[in-house]
Amino acid sequence: MRKLLLIIFILISNQIVLAQETKDKFSFEFKNSDLTTIIQTIENSSSYKFYFKPEWIQANKELVTASYTNISIEELLDKTFSTTNINFLILDQKIILTNNNRIHDSLPSNYFATSNSSSSDKASDKGFQNPIFYKQYDSIKNFGSKRNASIKFIGKESDITNKINCTLSGYIKNGATNKPEPNVYINIKGKNISATSDNQGYYTLQVPIGINIIEIKSINYKNITQTVMVYNDGLLDIEVQEDTNLLDEVIVKNGRAKTTETVISGLVSIDLVAMKNVPLILGERDILKIATTFPGIKTTGEGSAGFNVRGGKEDQNLILLDDAVMYNPQHFLGFFSAINPYTARKAEIYKGSIPAEFGGRLSSVFDITTKNGDPDKFSGEGAIGPITSNLTIGTPITKGKSSILLGARATYSDWILKSLDDEDLKNSQAGFYDGILKYNNTLNENNSLETTLYYSHDRFSISSDSVYKYSNRLASVKWDHDFNKRNKAALIFTNSEYKFNIDYNSNNTNDFDFGYKVNESQLMLKLNYSLNKQHTISYGISSKLYNISPGYQHPTNPDATLISTDIAKEKALESAVYLSDSYKISKKLLIDLGLRYSFYASMGEADVNIYQQGLPLSDETAIGTKHYNNNEFIKTYGGIEPRLAARYFITDDFSIKAGYDMTRQYIHLLSSNTTQSPTDTWKLSDTNVKPQSAKQFSLGLYKNINTADIELSLEGYYKTSENILDYKVGAQLLLNENVETELLQGKGRAYGIELLLKKQLGRLNGWIGYTYSRTFIQLDSEFSSETVNNGNYFSANFDKPHDLSAVLNYKFTKRYSLSTNFLYQTGRPITYPIGTFHYGNSDYTLYSDRNQYRIPDYIRLDIGINIEGNHKIKKLAHSFWNISVYNVLGRSNPYSIYFNTDKNGEVKGYKTSIFSIPVPSITYNFKF
């Protein structure tokens, strides 16, 4: 019996010892389990109880698949929470979880030591291994007692870390639309640490461990101050709200940082708020007119409808309104922009380092984005001026989720003309209107939808028997989808149409209706992928279909002798794929490498003229036609368009940038005028007209001067181009079935240097820009009929070597300011008659080489007084008065020079001017 009891005692003792050895050992197998499931499993299989806030656990979406055998609770928790921000502390059978920070179960041994104790001794204690933690230890103690919802904790605190700085990154989004906001400047208060969000709204900062205060101060968004406690690398997404009170004074820093930090050279960002202070013709705010005050962007003259960017022709600019192409962005023959300034949210102009996502034009991209309506409240703004009135309103559809923006603008110039005594003016017509409707809807956290509809219409009558009309119609639909924080996509459909019409009605049998139309539809898929901290990938595909009606002329009288004419329609398909990588090699060096491949196909149905080989194109050398069926490819073109941009920081506020761009253009503007006009037509590349191409090299220096928000930039460029379109002398472009016989294609060469000094803060602010540039064209051929100026390079119509502009604003008080706009330009080239000769019993005029002479230089000074209403927050509407005088000097600047032969056979020159006297105006602006 004793032996039996002894054996039982030994067995029980062994079991107790075995249980004590294995009581804290566990075996678990998890398959696609979330943290909540893991915690429940541990509680059900042990005596441990967890204490935590559910939202900490639910914020971690990662699933765990793992198998553990005989693992301690400490090891199990270490492995489970290793990829999260969760820390833990085990007290008996209680497991207390914390988010980001740790609970210290002991104080440093010398916590209460005297000041003579060495800092190295303090820093060596458990939980304070990093000296940075020790230096901020007192702040952390106070900080812990003040913890609240406004403080963000970043990363996971660990026992031992050798880090001094951590990486803080995330996305900046618009709180109303949930869409990424690019070019937002973010900095750490009191420290020389800053960054700017990229095109996907992504930013990254290197911040010291401990307490940091993040600031966002922008003229476009409400100021944000966010306190963060940084333990380790982590993510922080920031929502910004558009600033609805434009009259408040804010600190503008985003443009300054953007210029030096971004990789893009030759980028112009229009400050849509400060634009209200610039005095312009008849007090009308104008985005595109403001653009011409910056270096490298010119017009051929006052009242010109087109733009010349870095030696490019008017048709070489891609003008986008919410991704849809606008073919004629001007009202009133170029005096006003067709883009409503009160509906625009952002306007950026790429004149160098054009991103790979853009294509189809050689010189520049005008990327204009409209505002969204406020999804939370009804709001609006507008203006009443001497010629036009403007009203824009926004209203929520589903509060906090969707809204509509409606903008309308119209002129009452017809009413003014009819009130005049002059019979010719009383019977004339001149007017325009435009409207825009935008709907946006944040469908859910990952999806949003935007649709934009735009229409503009102009009409004018130079004589009582002809009425000219032209219009733009645009539509765009954009669906944004976020796959996750790294992967984003946008699917975009656009349609654009431009047309003009001439009604000739002289009450005779030859009255007619003349018209022209170009229409394009485009589908684009754009994707962005943030691979890591060094690489941001952008890629996509696009395809657009062109349909052009080159012109028709139909008699309106059944007894007319005029023959009805319809020029055959043109159709083409242009597609492209692109890939770019923004590669941050180091803190100083950033490279943007892009590759775009474009493919173009001219398509039937069409009858294409065939010309005799080895002879110039003319009616005499045409030997027949070839018929192509509907959608059959007539001629294809294509090629690779590399894009390269690089930025290197010489110092923290001084950078150098370089860029190389190759671009192709498959559509051409046909214009017999010196400047772009409403009756110009567009021609697609085909068998007889080749696409244009260009290469541009650019180099620039960018400097921020101290802390005075003064920006200084110096940029140089050199551009070469092929197959630039020009015309034979006396070319007939309208209603010409064989228009290719009137065209010439040659080479282009342009170079220049651009200087910009810009001050954004203080009583005196504004910018001064200077450009020295030259643009030349060469039209050389083995045939004399296709050769101009003996095949030598000659100045283009828009070659203006010197261009100086100064836009300055001085604030006397917060409500009163004085603005000036000064402009000097070299006169544009012109061809003069230099003599006469007698041939075949007739006298003929002898002209100089093409563009050998120049018209007089252009000089203009405008002055404006700006008066803001009181700045009370609670009031029905905020107001703003602008009183300005255009052309204060009353200088009769020449628009053009023309020549007539008098009765004595003498050739005389005459100068025409648009505004030869000072033009005063007063405009009332309001916002509610």
DSSP per residue over 378-420, as a string? Answer: -EEEEEE-SSEEEEEEEEEEETTTEEEEEEEEEE-HHHHHHTS
Give yes or no for residue 643 having a pLDDT over 70: yes
The pLDDT assigned to 31 comes to: 84
Max mean pLDDT among 130-139, 147-156, 665-674, 840-849 falls in 665-674
CB 268 within 8 A of CB 293: no
Most confident of 200-209, 305-314, 666-675: 305-314
Q: Are 245 and 880 in contact (CB under 8 A)?
A: no
Backbone phi and psi for residue 336, each to the nearest 5 degrees, phi listed first: -130, 150
Average pLDDT score over residue span 675-691:
84
Decide: 492 and 478 in contact? Cβ < 8 Å: yes
> Which pLDDT tens digit goes with each residue over 236-294?
888 888 765 444 444 444 444 567 788 888 888 887 777 776 766 666 788 888 898 99
Tell me the mean pLDDT in the region 400-414: 88
Q: Return the percentage of the chain with pLDDT > 70, whole number.
A: 84
Question: Residue 643 in 3-state DSSP?
Answer: strand
Q: Rounded to an integer, what distance in angstroms lies between the CA atom of residue 40 and that of residue 46?
A: 10
pLDDT of 893 higher than 50: yes
For 176, the token pair is: 């109303």
pLDDT at 865 over 50: yes
Helix (H) or strand (E) holding 441: strand 429-444
Q: Which residue has the higher pLDDT, 109 or 585?
A: 585
Q: pLDDT tens for residues 307-329?
A: 899 999 999 999 999 999 999 99
Burial of 120 (0-12, 13-18, 19+ CB in 10 A): exposed
Cα–Cα distance for residue pair 912/895, rounded to 1 Å: 6
| pLDDT at residue 345 tops 70 | yes
**Burial status of residue 455 (CB atoms within 10 A of its CB: 0-12, 13-18, 19 or more):** middle
Q: What is the pLDDT of residues 72-126, one digit of tens each?
A: 888 888 888 877 888 888 888 888 888 877 777 666 555 555 444 444 444 334 3
Flag whether pLDDT at 697 surpasses 50: yes
Flag whether pLDDT at 133 surpasses 50: no
**Maximal CA-CA distance, the chain:** 154
- Give the C-alpha distances (Å, rounded to integers) separating 821 from 24, 765, 767, 810, 919: 80, 12, 10, 12, 14
For residues 295-308, one letter each, b for 16 or more C-beta atoms within 10 angstroms of the residue's C-beta and e for the rest, the string is bbbbbbbbbbbbbb
In degrees and rounded to multiples of 5, residue 46 shows phi and psi of -150, 180
Q: How far is CA 364 from the centre of its chain?
A: 11
Sign of CA dihedral 311, 316, 321, 323: negative
Nearest to 476 by CA among 456, 449, 509, 508: 449
What is the arithmetic mean of pLDDT over 353-362?
A: 94
* Antiparallel, parallel or unpaired: β 829-830 and 330-331: unpaired
Are the beta carbons of 503 and 467 closer than 8 angstroms?
Answer: yes
Neighbours of 233 (CB within 10 A): 16
Residue 57 phi, psi dihedral angles, 5° rounding: -75, -40
- pLDDT recorded at residue 596: 97
Encode 278-340 in three state secondary structure. CCCHHHCCCHHHHHCCCCCEECCCCCCCCCEECCCCHHHEEEEECCEECCCCEEHHHCEECCC
Q: What is the pLDDT of residue 429?
A: 72
Asked whether the beta carbons of 864 and 809 are under 8 A apart, the reply is no
Please state at what angle helix 73-80 crosses helix 35-45, rounded to 10 degrees: 170
Question: What is the band of 683 on the pLDDT scale with cuts at 50, 70, 90?
Answer: very high
Sequence-distant (≥ 6) Cβ neighbours of residue 479 within 8 angstroms: 447, 448, 449, 490, 491, 492
pLDDT tens readout for residues 807-858: 999 989 888 889 999 999 998 898 888 877 777 777 777 888 899 989 889 9
- Looking at residue 368, its pLDDT comes to 94
**pTM of the entire predicted model:** 0.74
Cα distance between residue 714 and residue 759, in whole Å = 15
- The number of beta carbons lying within 10 Å of the beta carbon of residue 604 is 17
- What is the tens place of the pLDDT at every residue in 738-794? 999 999 999 999 999 999 999 877 888 899 999 999 999 999 998 888 899 999 999
- Report which secondary-structure segment, H or E, holds 194: strand 193-196
Average the pLDDT over 289-310 and give the result.
84
Q: Which residues lie across from 547 on neighbouring strands?
A: 519, 571
Instruction: Say if residue 913 is exposed, middle or buried (CB neighbours under 10 Å; 0-12, 13-18, 19+).
Output: middle
pLDDT of residue 330 exceeding 90, the answer is no
Mean pLDDT, rounded, for 8-17: 38
Whether residue 558 has pLDDT greater than 50: yes
- As a whole-number percent, the residues of the chain with pLDDT over 90 amount to 36
Q: Which of 29-33, 407-411, 838-842, 903-907 has the highest mean pLDDT?
A: 407-411
User: According to the model, what pLDDT value does residue 273 have?
Assistant: 72
pLDDT reported for residue 255: 45
Average pLDDT, the chain: 83
pLDDT band, very low/low/confident/very high, at 637 (cuts 50, 70, 90): very high
Q: Is the pLDDT of residue 565 over 50?
A: yes
The three-class DSSP label of residue 191 is: coil
For the segment 698-729, what is each residue's pLDDT rounded down to a tens digit?
999 999 886 557 889 999 999 999 999 998 88
8 Å CB contact between 290 and 766: no
**219 phi/psi in degrees, rounded to 5:** -75, -20
Query: Rounded mean pLDDT of 432-450?
Result: 92
Distance CA 648, CA 454 (A): 41
**Residue-level pLDDT at 873:** 61
Which of 467, 527, 479, 473 is closest to 497 using CA atoms? 473
The answer to whether 230 and 154 have CB atoms below 8 angstroms apart is yes
Structure confidence at residue 714 (pLDDT): 96
Give the HSE-up count for residue 766: Cα atoms under 13 Å, Cβ half-sphere. 23
Angstrom distances, CA of residue 156 to CA of 101, 233, 305, 371: 6, 8, 59, 39
Element (DSSP H or E) covering residue 87:
strand 86-91
- Position with higher pLDDT, 61 vs 197: 197
- Write the CB contacts of 838 (distance below 8 Å, at least 6 apart in sequence): 844
DSSP state of 275: G
Mind listing the pLDDT tens digit for each residue in 364-389? 999 999 999 988 889 899 989 888 88
Mean pLDDT of 654-673: 91
The yes-or-no verdict on residue 678 having pLDDT over 70 is no
- pLDDT, tens only, 503-540: 887 777 778 888 999 999 999 999 999 888 889 999 99
